[in-house]
Amino acid sequence: MRTQVAIIGAGPAGLFLGHLLARAGIDAVVLERRTRDYVEGRVRAGVLEQGTVALMAELGLDARLRDEGLVHTGTNIGYDGEIFRVDMAALTGGSAVTVYGQQEVMRDLFDAAEERGVRIVFEAEDLVLEDIAGSSPSVRYVRHGEAHHLACDYVAACDGFHGVGRGAIPADVLKVFERVYPFGWLGILAEVPPVNHELIYANHERGFALASMRSPSRSRYYVQVGLDERIEDWSDDRFWDELALRLGPQAAAGLVRGPSFEKSIAPLRSFVAEPMRYGALFLAGDAAHIVPPTGAKGMNLAVSDVRILAEALVRHYRDRDPAGLDGYSARALARVWKAERFSWWFTGLTHRFPDMDPFARRMQVAELAYIRGSQAAQTVLAENYVGLPLA
Ligand code: FAD
Ligand code: DHB
């Protein structure tokens, strides 16, 4: 079998790229190790930047998003038991974010795949890349016990942090930059109305808490926990008590409790791999970079990567112009690093670090108080949160 672009991974990066290439008439095959149900079932991101919403609209895949997505023009920050609002729309000339789960995005992309000519091969296992630095790159994989060979011009590794793409770049070429945080997020989903109509990011002496949602009747909450915490030790009652304490009395007064139907712990990490291109191989999304979830950037970065990559591939195939592909890594990384900085900064501002002394704690509170009183500081937060331009 032969194709122009082999896409590894049917997460947000791989599927958006598949749709963008299909629209441009570029032949591509998406190879996914898991089943559709597995990929769609993963509870992950919840907040879409304006650029991500715009791409859904551009692809004509936004019918449900327009109907069910919750547009948020502001966000809220809590500390010392009080909460202040950052009016993102007023500070950014009208920009907003939309709460619409990654699971919903994936469902919309999968549902439209067949009619748009996006070819997806599920349960493609034991994938190996061949000759990515040479003139005849290809991908080998096994499906239901049968070996397959897919020859291609290019490989887009959209295979997440634990994929095989990044590992195909030689060690003397690949540079890795990393911070592992000494805590994780314990998250739950519950069929109860959200405590507030907008998100609340809370800094509390006991640790960070986040009040989010998936719909007017479904809440998504997170609390910062130590890396040694076990999910079994967190009963629903313990979670609700801790969340209420950290959100503070003002917010917690309206907290509706109920049984959780999803509960998991995610570690926090900042990670960037450079370059994002090696020969015929292009990395996109979590395959190349990870952000701590505080800034809600992970999926949005995957989307901006593949926008840049699709544009470059179209330029190559339509205009025979290699400039886009040659500039892909630098252009994508420029935006990635800014989102890395924002996510790292917002994590530092809102979390409790084990080595924090009273001075460090006072610095956090002083910065929060400064942001509360400064339109300039709120503008910096707002323009990063709604998403920086592609440039
Ligand atoms: P993935 O979604 O990881 O997709 C990669 C795909 O490749 C997977 O389907 C995998 O099965 C497949 N694959 C891997 N290896 C192979 C292989 N060898 N062969 C074939 N297929 C393979 N982001 C936000 O923007 N906003 C948020 O609010 C947010 N909140 C989050 C909350 C949590 C708890 C978590 C865990 C993440 C959150 N994120 C958020 C991050 C976001 O979910 C990820 O950044 C996003 O999924 C990245 O998309 P991706 O397509 O690059 O990678
Ligand atoms: C959600 C996740 C985030 O990381 C974030 O910053 C905001 C919201 C969520 O899952 O709803």
> Are residues 130 and 45 both part of a single domain?
yes
> Are residues 169 and 129 both part of a single domain?
yes
Ligand 1 pocket test, pick from 33, 50, 72 with the greatest ligand atom count within 8 Å of Cβ, gives 33
The reply to whether 19 belongs to the active site is no
Tell me if 124 CB under 6 Å of ligand 2: no
Residue 82 lies in a domain: no
In which domain, by residue range, is 152 found?
5-72+96-178+269-347
3-class DSSP state for residue 310? Answer: helix
Q: Give the closest ligand to the alpha carbon of residue 266.
A: 1
Distance 298 CA to ligand 2 centre (A): 10
Q: Which residue has the tokens 């634990």?
A: 162
pLDDT of residue 80: 87
> Are residues 68 and 58 both part of a single domain?
yes
CATH number at residue 129: 3.50.50.60
Please tell me which residue in 79, 154, 181, 201 is annotated as part of the active site: 201
Tell me if 212 CB under 6 Å of ligand 2: yes
Residue 322 lies in a domain: yes
> Are residues 215 and 152 both part of a single domain?
no
Specify the DSSP element, H or E, that contains 77.
strand 75-79
Residue 285 lies in a domain: yes
Structure tokens, 12: 């947000």
The reply to whether 267 belongs to the active site is no
Tell me if 324 CB under 6 Å of ligand 2: no
Q: Which residue has the tokens 């009395």?
A: 249
Q: What is the mean pLDDT of residues 13-20?
A: 98
Distances (CA, A) of 146 to 127, 303, 314: 12, 32, 33
- Asked if residues 350 and 294 have their Cβ atoms less than 8 Å apart, the reply is yes
Distance 146 CA to ligand 2 centre (A): 40
Name the amino acid, one letter, at 122. Answer: F
Number of independent structural domains in the chain:
2
Structure tokens, 139: 């991908």
Cα gap 50→187, rounded to integer Å: 25
> Are residues 198 and 160 both part of a single domain?
no
CATH number at residue 236: 3.30.9.10
3-class DSSP state for residue 234? Answer: coil
pLDDT tens-digit readout, 77-136: 999 888 999 999 999 999 999 999 999 999 999 999 999 999 999 999 999 999 999 999
pLDDT of residue 43: 87
Distance 35 CA to ligand 1 centre (A): 14
- Asked if residues 168 and 128 have their Cβ atoms less than 8 Å apart, the reply is no
Contacts of 260 (CB under 8 A, 6+ apart): 188, 189, 190, 236, 239
Distance 213 CA to ligand 2 centre (A): 8
> Are residues 50 and 125 both part of a single domain?
yes
Contacts of 153 (CB under 8 A, 6+ apart): 4, 5, 137, 280
pLDDT tens-digit readout, 259-286: 999 999 999 999 999 999 999 999 999 9
